[in-house]
Chain A
Amino acid sequence: MATTIEPTLARSANSGAQPLLSIRNIAKSFGQNPVLRDISLQIAEGEFLTILGESGSGKTTLLRIIAGFESATSGEIWMEDERLDVLPPYRRRVNTVFQHYALFPHLTVEENVGYGLRVAKLPKAETASRVEQALAMVKMTAYAKSKPAKISGGQQQRIALARALVNRPRLLLLDEPLSALDANLRRQMQVELKSLQREVGISFVFVTHDQEEAMVMSDRIALLRRGELEQIASPREIYGQPATAYTAQFIGHTNLLQGDVKGGVVRCHSLDWPVGLPDGPVLLSLRPENLRVVHAAVGSAGVNVVRFHGRVCHQAFHGSTELLQVECADGLKLSIRTATRENWQGDLELEFSPEDAVAVRKSEERT
Chain B
Amino acid sequence: MFSRAYRAAITVPPLVWVAVFLLVPYALLFCYSFWSVSPAQTIVHSWTLDNYRDLFRVNVYLQTLFRSMGIAARVMLFSLLLGYPLAYYLSFYAGARKELFYQLVIIPLWVSYLVRAYAWKTILGSDGVLNTLLQYVHLTRHPLDFLLYSPFAVVLTLTHIYTPFAFLPIYASLEHIPRNLVEASHDLGASPFQTFWRVIFPLSIPGVLAGATFAFVLSLGDFLAPLLLGGPSGIMISNIVVSLFGAAYNWPLGAAISLCMLLLVLALIYLSESLEKKWSFR
Interface residue ranges, A against B (CB under 8 Å):
67-69, 88-91, 94-96, 98, 100, 102-106, 115-116, 119-120, 147, 149, 163-164, 167
Contact = CB atoms under 8 A, between A and B. Distances in A.
A353 to B, nearest CB: 49
How extensive is the interface on chain B, given as a class?
20 to 34
Interface stretch (B77-85, B181-189, B248-256): B181-189
Interface in B189-210: 189-191, 194, 198-199, 202-203
B17 interface: no
Contact of A90 (B178, B191, B199, B202): B191
B180 interface: yes
Given A104-B199, A119-B191, 11 more contacts: A67-B187, A90-B186, A91-B189, A96-B183, A100-B180, A105-B281, A106-B199, A106-B281, A119-B185, A164-B187, A167-B188
Interface of B: 178, 180-181, 183-191, 194, 198-199, 202-203, 279, 281-282
A106 B190 CA distance: 16
A152 B127 CA distance: 68
Contact of A115 (B185, B203, B281): B185
B187 A90 contact: yes
Given A96-B184, A119-B194, A106 B279 contact: yes
Nearest to A100: B180
Given A119-B198, A149-B282, A102 B189 contact: no
A102 B181 contact: yes
B281 A90 contact: no
25 contacts: A69-B186, A89-B183, A90-B187, A90-B189, A95-B187, A95-B188, A96-B187, A98-B184, A100-B180, A102-B181, A102-B184, A103-B184, A104-B181, A105-B181, A105-B281, A106-B281, A115-B185, A115-B198, A116-B188, A119-B188, A119-B194, A120-B189, A149-B281, A163-B188, A164-B188
Contacts of A89: 183, 186-187
A89 B192 CA distance: 10
B138 to A, nearest CB: 48
A91 B187 CA distance: 8
Contacts of B190: 90, 115-116, 119
**What is the predominant secondary structure among interface residues of chain B facing chain A?**
helix
A116 B199 CA distance: 12
A119 B194 CA distance: 7
Contacts of B203: 105-106
A69 B180 CA distance: 10
Nearest to B188: A116
Contact of B186 (A88, A103, A164): A88
A119 B281 contact: no
B282 A105 contact: yes
B178 A102 contact: yes
B173 to A, nearest CB: 12
A106 B279 CA distance: 8
A102 B194 contact: no
Nearest to B203: A106
B177 to A, nearest CB: 10
Max count, chain B CB within 10 A of own CB: residue among A100, A119, A164, A167: A119
Nearest to A92: B187
Nearest to B181: A102
A116 B185 CA distance: 8
Contact of B183 (A69, A94, A105, A163): A69
A46 B142 CA distance: 77
Contacts of A105: 181, 203, 281-282
A98 B281 contact: no
A119 B184 contact: no
Contacts of B185: 104, 115, 119
A102 B183 contact: yes
Contacts of B202: 106
B189 A119 contact: yes
A335 to B, nearest CB: 41
Contact of A68 (B186, B188, B194, B198): B186
Nearest to A175: B180
Contacts of A100: 178, 180
A115 B180 contact: no
A167 B189 CA distance: 9
A-B pairs with lowest CB-CB distance, top 3: A105-B281, A116-B188, A102-B184
Contacts of A94: 187
A96 B182 CA distance: 13
A95 B187 CA distance: 6
Contacts of A115: 185, 188, 190, 198
A89 B189 CA distance: 7
B176 to A, nearest CB: 11
Nearest to A67: B187
A102 B183 CA distance: 9
Contacts of A103: 184
Contacts of A69: 183, 186-187
Contacts of A90: 186-191
Contacts of A147: 281
A257 to B, nearest CB: 45
Nearest to B180: A102
A163 B186 CA distance: 13
Contacts of B180: 98, 100, 102
B183 A98 contact: yes
A115 B181 CA distance: 12
Contacts of A96: 183-184, 187
